[in-house]
């Protein structure tokens, strides 16, 4: 079976991370001949193309300069589909799904992984366009031949709210790359990146309203400083506002955007997410794989991640008081044991081999 995994670009993001995980898993399983195709040029210094090369994954770059050349991109992609006799085109994302459907007609099947709800997709565009983008996204999804949700919660949401049915394959994580550090190794890493060697709480990812990071700062400011330090790693629209809210608190440290989030994950002990909505968050999966204990808002995707585990620490959505209570309780936790449970959860449920296997079964079913 021959397949292409198509993305817009290789700029660091959840979708490109999952593309790498899927392709790595398929290479390990050795049952699908797969290759990455990027639509846009990848001239940014922080792109992840080299990560694919390092894993021995074949890459084709169409090198389209403009975001709006949909038909040119579809034409070039169609040539590859025909010349290489491709059976499956797998994609994820708004624009790339449209391109793949245009390119594949009459030549192969299209699988699209749905990682965001319509409101989360539209929030990436200027306010004046959001209603239109939301409608176009729903219209596009309805016409994708094979739809796959990245979580059970996402699958239910589209079914209940939009009457769009999907299969489900949960996101995965590279457990060989995201590995825990303990003891002296963790202390040495903290010294290297310039943070205190104390219990460390981590917020990781885009600083957007939907992530609700202001609530985390409010809760952290209300507890005793002896509990530990809070690292906020990432950038986004709310960065200035959050810095102002956290000013004069020496235990809240803003790192900004980084090309190497792994160091900050490995240097931390506990991961916090107060998100109001998610797909199946990569940051939490990466934290689990590095042995971080998760403290999560009580939304469906978060519950799904830690269901039936010993590390289900959920607080009431949008409640400072509920999160504050959990933060205070961390001083009584057996963090060594809970860290071990977090790592075991990632290994048993979310490895890349299992991720790829589930997609391979979907490919086979629809080709039959």
Mean pLDDT comparison of 15-19, 61-65, 322-326, highest-scoring range = 322-326
CA dist 80 and 60 (Å) reads 9
User: What's the confidence (pLDDT) of residue 73?
Assistant: 94
Q: If you write DSSP's letter for every residue of 257-294 in order, what string do you get?
A: --S-HHHHHHT-SEEEE--S--SS-HHHHHHHHTTPEE
Specify the CATH number of the domain 183-349. Answer: 3.40.50.2000
**Tokens 């986004």, residue?**
236
SS3 content of the chain, % helix, strand, coil (to 5): 50, 15, 35
Mean pLDDT of 293-318: 94
Whole-number pLDDT of residue 368 = 66
Write out pLDDT tens, residues 192-220.
Answer: 999 999 999 999 999 999 999 999 999 99
What residue ranges do the domains of the chain occupy? 2-172+351-367, 183-349
Mean pLDDT to the nearest integer, 325-332: 93
pLDDT in tens, 14-57: 889 899 999 999 999 998 988 999 998 887 777 889 989 999 99
The gap from C-alpha 236 to its chain's centroid, in whole angstroms, comes to 16
Superfamily of domain 2-172+351-367: Glycogen Phosphorylase B; (3.40.50.2000)
The closest of 168, 239, 171 to 19, measured between CA atoms, is 171
What value does the mean pLDDT take over residues 251-270? 93
Antiparallel, parallel or unpaired: β 146-149 and 293-297: unpaired
Same fold flag, 2-172+351-367 and 183-349: yes
Provide the whole-model pTM.
Answer: 0.84
Helix (H, G, I), strand (E, B) or coil at 232: strand
Q: Does residue 11 register a pLDDT over 90?
A: no
Q: What is the pLDDT of residue 171?
A: 93
Nearest one of 323, 327, 195 to 253, comparing CA atoms: 195
């Amino acid at each position: 079976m021959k397949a292409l995994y198509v993305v817009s670009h290789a700029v660091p993001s959840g979708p490109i991370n999952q593309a790498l995980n899927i392709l790595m898993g398929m290479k390990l399983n050795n049952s699908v001949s797969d290759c990455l195709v990027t639509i846009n040029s990848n001239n940014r210094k922080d792109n992840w193309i080299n990560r694919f090369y390092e894993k021995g994954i074949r890459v084709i770059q169409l090198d389209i300069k403009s975001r709006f050349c949909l038909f040119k991109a579809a034409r070039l992609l169609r040539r590859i589909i025909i010349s290489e006799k491709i059976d499956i085109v797998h994609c994820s994302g708004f624009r790339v799904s449209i391109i793949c459907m245009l390119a594949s007609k009459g030549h192969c099947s299209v699988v699209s992984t749905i990682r965001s709800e319509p409101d989360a997709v539209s929030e990436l565009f200027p306010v004046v366009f959001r209603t239109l983008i939301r409608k176009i996204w729903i219209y596009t999804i309805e016409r994708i031949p094979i739809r796959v949700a990245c979580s059970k919660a996402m699958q239910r949401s589209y079914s209940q709210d939009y009457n769009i049915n999907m299969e489900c394959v949960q996101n995965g994580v590279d457990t060989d790359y995201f590995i825990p550090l303990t003891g002296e190794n963790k202390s040495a890493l903290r010294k290297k990146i310039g943070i205190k060697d104390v219990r460390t709480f981590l917020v990781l990812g885009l600083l957007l309203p939907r992530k609700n990071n202001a609530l985390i700062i409010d809760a952290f400011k209300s507890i005793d400083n002896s509990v530990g330090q809070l690292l906020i790693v990432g950038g986004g629209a709310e960065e200035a506002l959050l810095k102002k809210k956290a000013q004069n608190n020496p235990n809240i440290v803003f790192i900004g955007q980084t090309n190497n989030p792994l160091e900050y994950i490995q240097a931390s002990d506990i991961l916090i997410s107060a998100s109001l909505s998610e797909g199946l968050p990569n940051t939490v999966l990466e934290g689990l794989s590095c042995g971080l204990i998760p403290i999560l808002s009580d939304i469906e995707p978060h519950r799904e991640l830690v269901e039936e585990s010993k590390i289900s620490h959920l607080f009431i959505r949008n409640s400072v008081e509920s999160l504050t209570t959990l933060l205070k309780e961390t001083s009584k936790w057996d963090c060594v044991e809970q860290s071990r449970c977090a790592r075991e959860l990632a290994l048993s449920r979310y490895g890349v081999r299992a991720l790829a296997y589930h997609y391979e079964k979907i490919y086979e079913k629809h080709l039959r």
